[in-house]
Amino acid sequence: MARSQNISKTGRRGFLKGAAVGAAALVAKPPLVAQTQQAQRGVVPQPSAVQAARETTPPPHVDVYTTDRPGSDFMADVVKSLGFEYVAANPGSSFRGLHESLINYGGNKDPELLTCLHEESSVAMAHGYAKIEGKPMLIMAHGTVGLQHASMAIYNAYADRVPVYVLLGNIQDETWRRSDVEWAHSVQDAASMVRDYTKWDDAPVSLAHFAESAVRAYKIAMTPPMEPVVIVADAVLQEEPVPEADRGKLRVPKLSLSTPPAGDSAAIAEAARMLVAAENPLILAGRAARTPAGLKSLVELAEMLQAPVQDRRFRMNFPTRHALYGGGNIADADVILALEVPDLWNATNSMTPVNKFGMESRRLTKPGSKLIHIFAGDLYAKSNYQDFGRYAEVDLSIAADAEASLPELIEASKKLITADRKRAFADRGAKLAEAARKVRERDLEQASYGFDASPISTARVSAELWNQLKGEDWSLVSDVTFFSYWPLRLWDFNKYYHYIGGHGAYGIGYQAPASVGAALANRKHGRISVNIQCDGDINYAPGVLWTAAHHKIPLLTVMHNNRAYHQELMYVQDMANRAQRGIDRAKIGTAISDPNIDYATMAKAYGMYSAGPISDPKDLGPAIKAALQVVKRGEPALIDVITQPR
């Protein structure tokens, strides 16, 4: 208390002294002090001339640090209107604005951002996802280096007729590029690099332009033949505030998807007439079933006609245990109905194989046979990349989407079937069923050879997997060509999501990320996704294993670890045989051994459960069982299996 009294006395004395000094100083004080003191006494001070000028003249420069409405927020509005569930991206500065808007303004939901460690993984994940979900995933990438990484995966999707939606960041206006990095990451025409294998692209110059182009791109991507599309999201448009003048005017246009193009009615009627009259019709299915409806329609058509279906395995077109699956013979068919078969010439002709010199081709179809092709590829094609295949001579060419055309073909055929034709069909069906039964017996007998061998036979791996999947709701999210098709020969494929086909353009590196994308689509349906993973393929961008672990994508990966780029190994062997030398040196440049890669450890490094390497077939069953428990918990798992080459 004493201390505070002392301060009080000192304070009073100080005040009085100060008041005296202040009064004296008041006579010649600066205007601001006078104004301040006037304000203290309740008098409104008048501004000085300098103050008035400062407050009314616009300053030469204003430092603005924040905005409540960056342009990328509007872009996020547009993106959300299109219904994307996910956006896959390896982060990049050229789309940092949109990235931030999606995770903050957009709440990181619809779309949710998937962290990818390579842009090829981003696009291939979208490729696999679309084949299960039937709609695109969004991808973001740098317009230069990101797109360069992504390009092979975009080509795969293009060749496979799958919609993927790519947003590229770019700084179009050079005066905004702040560093050499931004110069190196800028480009005049970002989409030009992939224009030969994308369906449509645009580089909008305003937010309103972005909205229209983004919606249009989605519509175009989803119109059969479905293909990848590209939109450039300019970085300045992303990062600068929405102009005041636009704030009340910007809107997102309505998306209206086009109905898929169905075949011309007269042509469909003619096709029906030919099929019903045929003695040995054959259906060749390429990418016939785009959706579960396509699978259902094809079964209905085949059963009605008792026509065998040879599935080219680009999609899940036909149930594999059906009596009409895989039967018939191109050489015996009098009418062949091809549905979205991109390699129709290859399917109906043979060529001199690699083991011989020279080139001759021979038609496989018999003289007088008729070939009908329903093919959306005839509505849209590009010329530089040659995925369109050799020109196939057909008798009736219907430029339309096969799945959309099947209902009318079914109705047109029904009207023509008489009692006589029904009896003929039934006789044919009985023979086909018997033939199918014999093929199945032969397949099972073939599977028994090398069943206990080490390295483990691909038939053994497939049988062990089926043993544990047969009671589950499963989805094989990998191609099986390099597995001698054993899953397709042994398992019971009957649902659309049971199989998604392959790469499209055979660009290796597709498999690992596509399986993760497809598994992500399967996740909400509670399906067990299974990936038979070639070792060569996973090494291109194995970081996708981390993405699966990080995003908790349940997926069982079984390595097809044959320790080589086996296709190329066989080709180099072919060349060595041709030259009659060094046939024991074909492993140089093709083998992946010495040292052997430990994929179980690789998976662990990425945070994933793993087991193996397993080379004794007896160990396979227990390993699969344990891994499936992990997958059923909602996490990915990998088993490294040392396998036979094919």
Partner 1 sequence: MRIISFLVIAAAFLLASVAFPQAPAPAAGDAAKGKDLFLKDGCYECHGYAGQGSKDGARIGPPVLNAQGLIRYVRRPAGAMPAFTEKVVTDAQLTDIYAYLKSIPAPKAVKDIPLLDQLK
Length of the chain (residues): 646
Q: How far is the CB of 399 from partner 1 (least distance, A)?
A: 27
| Residue 192 or 352 with smaller CB distance to partner 1 | 352
Number of C-beta neighbours around residue 349 at 10 A: 16
In the region spanning residues 321 to 340, those forming contacts with partner 1, defined by CB under 8 A, are none
Distance CA 577, CA 206 (A): 61
Contact between 336 and 348 under an 8 Å Cβ cutoff? The reply is: yes
Query: Nearest distance from residue 158's CB to partner 1, in Å?
Result: 18
Backbone angles phi, psi at 636, to 5 degrees: -85, 155
Q: Is 393 helix (H, G, I), strand (E, B) or coil?
A: coil
Cα-Cα-Cα-Cα dihedral sign, residues 560, 562, 563, 567: negative
Nearer to partner 1, 258 or 352 (CB): 352
Site string for partner 1, 489-508 (x = CB under 8 A): -x---------------x--
Shortest CB 627 distance to partner 1, Å:
17
Shortest spacing between CB 537 and partner 1, in angstroms: 13
Question: Cα separation of 604 and 640, whole Å?
Answer: 12
Q: Decide if residue 364 touches partner 1 (CB under 8 A).
A: no
Q: Does 578 bind partner 1 (CB under 8 A)?
A: yes
386 is a contact residue toward partner 1 (CB under 8 A): no
- Could you give the string, one character per residue 79-118, with x where binding to partner 1 holds by CB under 8 A and - elsewhere? ----------------------------------------
Q: Which is nearer to partner 1, 103 or 576 (CB)?
A: 576
353 binds partner 1 (CB under 8 A): yes
Measure Cα distances from 389 to 154, 161, 340, 342, 369 in Å. 19, 14, 13, 7, 21
Q: Does 646 bind partner 1 (CB under 8 A)?
A: yes
Instruction: Catalogue the E-assigned strands of 440-524.
Output: 474-476
Binds partner 1 (CB under 8 A): choice among 341, 477, 553, 586: 586
Q: Whole-angstrom Cα distance, residue 378 to residue 635?
A: 42
Which lies closer to partner 1 via its Cβ, residue 176 or residue 388? 388
> Which residue among 35, 144, 484, 529 contacts partner 1 (CB under 8 A)?
484
d(CA 167, CA 579): 49
Nearer Cβ to partner 1 (356/524): 356
The encoded tokens of residue 619 equal 């160990």
Q: How far apart are alpha carbons 566 and 482 in whole angstroms?
A: 9
Evaluate whether 201 touches 186 at the Cβ level (below 8 Å).
Answer: no
Q: Binding to partner 1 by residue 50, rule CB under 8 A?
A: no
Determine which residue in the list 574, 604, 615, 632 makes contact with partner 1, applying CB under 8 A: 574
Among 63, 244, 584, 594, binds partner 1 (CB under 8 A): 584
Among residues 37, 81, 397, 481, the one that binds partner 1 under rule CB under 8 A: 481
Q: Which stretch binds partner 1 (CB under 8 A): 78-86, 88-96, 164-172, 567-575?
A: 567-575
In the complex, what is the shortest distance from the CB of residue 614 to partner 1, in angstroms, rounded to a whole number? 16
Residues 140-169 that bind partner 1 (CB under 8 A): none
d(Cα 324, Cα 326) in Å, to the nearest integer? Answer: 6
Q: How far is the CB of 191 from partner 1 (least distance, A)?
A: 29
For the CB of residue 488, give the shortest distance to partner 1 in the complex, in Å: 11
d(CA 211, CA 74): 9
In contact, 586 and 573? CB cutoff 8 Å: yes
- By CB under 8 A, how many residues form the interface with partner 1? 45
Question: For residue 574, how many other CB atoms are within 10 A of its CB?
Answer: 15
Minimum CB separation of residue 250 from partner 1 in Å reads 49
Among 274, 569, 597, 602, binds partner 1 (CB under 8 A): 569
Q: Shortest gap between Cβ of 455 and partner 1 (angstroms)? A: 6
Q: List Cβ neighbours of 132 (8 Å cut-off, separation of 6 or more).
A: 475, 477, 497, 500, 518, 521, 522
Check residue 345 for interaction with partner 1 (CB under 8 A). no
499 in Cβ contact with 315 (< 8 Å): yes
Cα–Cα–Cα angle for 390, 395, 400, nearest 5°? 75
Which of 306, 644 has the CB closer to partner 1?
644
Measured from the CB atom, the residue of 183 and 451 that comes closer to partner 1 is 451
Letters for 443-472 (x = contact with partner 1 by CB under 8 A, - = none) are: -xxxxxxxx-x-x-xxxx--xx-xx-----
**Rounded Cα–Cα distance for residues 286 and 309 (Å):** 10
Query: Residue 636, SS3?
Result: coil
Given 91, 577, 604, 615, the residue binding partner 1 (CB under 8 A)? 577
Nearer to partner 1, 245 or 579 (CB): 579
| DSSP secondary structure string for all residues of 175-189 | GG--SHHHHHT--SS
Tokens of 377: 């590829």
Beta-carbon contacts of 635 under 8 Å, excluding residues fewer than 6 positions away, are 549, 552, 554, 608, 609
Q: Residue 566, interface with partner 1 (CB under 8 A)? A: yes
End-to-end CA gap in the chain: 96
Contacts of 149 (CB under 8 A, 6+ apart): 90, 118, 119, 120, 141
Q: How far is the CB of 200 from partner 1 (least distance, A)?
A: 29
Q: Is residue 121 near partner 1 by the rule CB under 8 A?
A: no
Residues in touch with partner 1 (CB under 8 A):
353-355, 440, 444-451, 453, 455, 457-460, 463-464, 466-467, 481, 484-485, 490, 506, 566-567, 569-571, 573-574, 576-578, 580-581, 583-584, 586, 644-646
